[in-house]
Amino acid sequence: MAGKRPSPRPEQGLRRKIWTAFVLQVVAISLATVLGVQAASIILKDVLIQRALKDEASHFWQRLAANPGAELPDTANMKGFLQPVPRGAERVPEHLADLPPGFHALPRHQGGDLVYVEDGPAGRLWLVFKQDQVDRLAFFFGFVPLTVVLLIIYLTAWSTYRISRRAVSPVVWLADVVRNWDPNRPDLEALRPDRLPPDLDGDVLALARALHGFACRIESFIERERNFTRDASHELRSPLTVIRVAAEVMEEDESLTDYQRRSLTRIRAAVREMETLIEAFLILAREDYHALPAEDFDVGELVREEMDKIRPMLANKPVELVLDQRGRFTLHASPRVFSIALGNLLRNAAAYTERGRITVRMFHRVIEVEDTGCGMNPEQLARAFDPFYRGGRDGSRGHGIGLTIVRRLCDRVGWRVMLESEVGKGTIARIVFPEPRQR
């Protein structure tokens, strides 16, 4: 049954997409900030401090060369040792004595200090930079700025998200209104200009008005379609019924000549064809096929009925009409749709078959109509379902609408229709019905 369209999954909503975009953005910026601060800490420790220690060592050697009694560096952040030990200076601690020249980071149980060892003209120099100072610098120049930056990012992102959410709220409201419309009877009153929320901005307001106008036109189209279907069903069928009944009455006149009887037979056949075409067009004009009454019916019975209807078209032709029933099955669908589709295939086969045989085969959920007519080449076969295209050798038979109707009906109800043809051998039309659903 056609009804309201299912609501989209939550993750497909506009708000969820905006939220996801902001979260990804915040995560990416936070990760970049953390990596940047970490890189700054590494640069502080491995570049700046090491450079400062090297410069301090070079400066000490210069002072020592100028003044042999120059004191070793001893500040709040750094302490120096020299081997051999100058008079009055502290001896090199044991855990530092064996360190080779270069930079060293002591483990935590030994203080965790940064040590620079360098050999100079007066011996070996140890410069020890206190780790707590490094940690303090990393904290003030790393963690504190990182925390501030992240807080600013989070607050900015949250504020921007709230603003964006408020900005798209009218669009979400409009989408909810349209999504909850009944396709057959949309609630146009919800989008009337005097009922729109006052907080709609210009673009959304224009969109709401456009949707309201579009929905009004669609409703008008649907109403005209309903009126046409109702009026055509009565106004077109009534004169055809009169013609058919009049032809039947005239056929009872025994004074008619053979020519007149043949003319009446053609009139009755044309009336039946017109009734079938009108019914097919009315079915296709419906917005919802499922509004047609569906029931379980025996396919074989309707096949035989349609074959009986087509026999008058073959009365003056050496053509045999055969039913090859290799399986039986029932369908849950509209019997009229099935009859129209099969009847068009049979009429098409009868129109293009001058002699030989038309065979209707029934398999499990498959109907085949095979004829021994003129057939079609690949180019004609590719266009066989085009409206008003007439194949065959001369292309003058039929109205060119029968196969188009069959294709449109089958597409509407979920059946598959296929054609196979070969020039000079004939054509096979096949309808494949889906397996029944469990009910």
pLDDT at res. 9 = 45
pLDDT band at 218 (very low <50, low <70, confident <90, very high): confident
Give the rounded percent of residues in the chain with a pLDDT score beyond 90: 15
Residues 337/302, Cβ–Cβ less than 8 Å: no
Note the maximum CA span of the chain: 154
pLDDT at 8 over 50: no
91-106 residue pLDDT tens: 888 888 889 999 888 8
pLDDT band at 346 (very low <50, low <70, confident <90, very high): very high
Q: Using CA atoms, how far apart are residues 31 and 434, in angstroms rounded to an integer?
A: 55
pLDDT at 371 over 70: yes
pLDDT at res. 294 = 80
Most confident by average pLDDT, 2-6, 201-205, 215-219, 435-439:
215-219
38-91 residue pLDDT tens: 776 666 666 777 888 889 899 988 988 888 888 888 887 888 999 888 877 788
Residues 93/85, Cβ–Cβ less than 8 Å: no
pLDDT at 314 over 70: yes
Residue 316 CB-density burial (10 A; 0-12 exposed, 13-18 middle, 19+ buried) = exposed
pLDDT at res. 5 = 43
155-181 residue pLDDT tens: 887 887 777 777 767 777 777 777 777
pLDDT at res. 437 = 62
Average pLDDT over residues 276-292: 66
N-terminal to C-terminal alpha carbon distance within the chain: 14
Read off the pTM: 0.50
Residues 427/413, Cβ–Cβ less than 8 Å: no
Q: Using CA atoms, how far apart are residues 277 and 291, in angstroms rounded to an integer?
A: 19
Average pLDDT for the chain:
79
pLDDT at 372 over 90: yes
pLDDT band at 142 (very low <50, low <70, confident <90, very high): low
pLDDT at 358 over 90: yes
Residue 416 structure tokens: 């598959």
What are the residue boundaries of the structural domains of the chain, listed by start?
A: 292-432
pLDDT band at 323 (very low <50, low <70, confident <90, very high): very high
pLDDT at res. 1 = 38
Report which of 367, 386, 365 is spatially closest to residue 428, judged by C-alpha positions.
Answer: 367
Residue 236 structure tokens: 């077109």
pLDDT at 305 over 70: yes
Residue 398 structure tokens: 């039929």
pLDDT at 188 over 50: yes
pLDDT at res. 10 = 40
pLDDT at res. 15 = 66
What's the CATH fold of domain 292-432? Heat Shock Protein 90 (3.30.565)
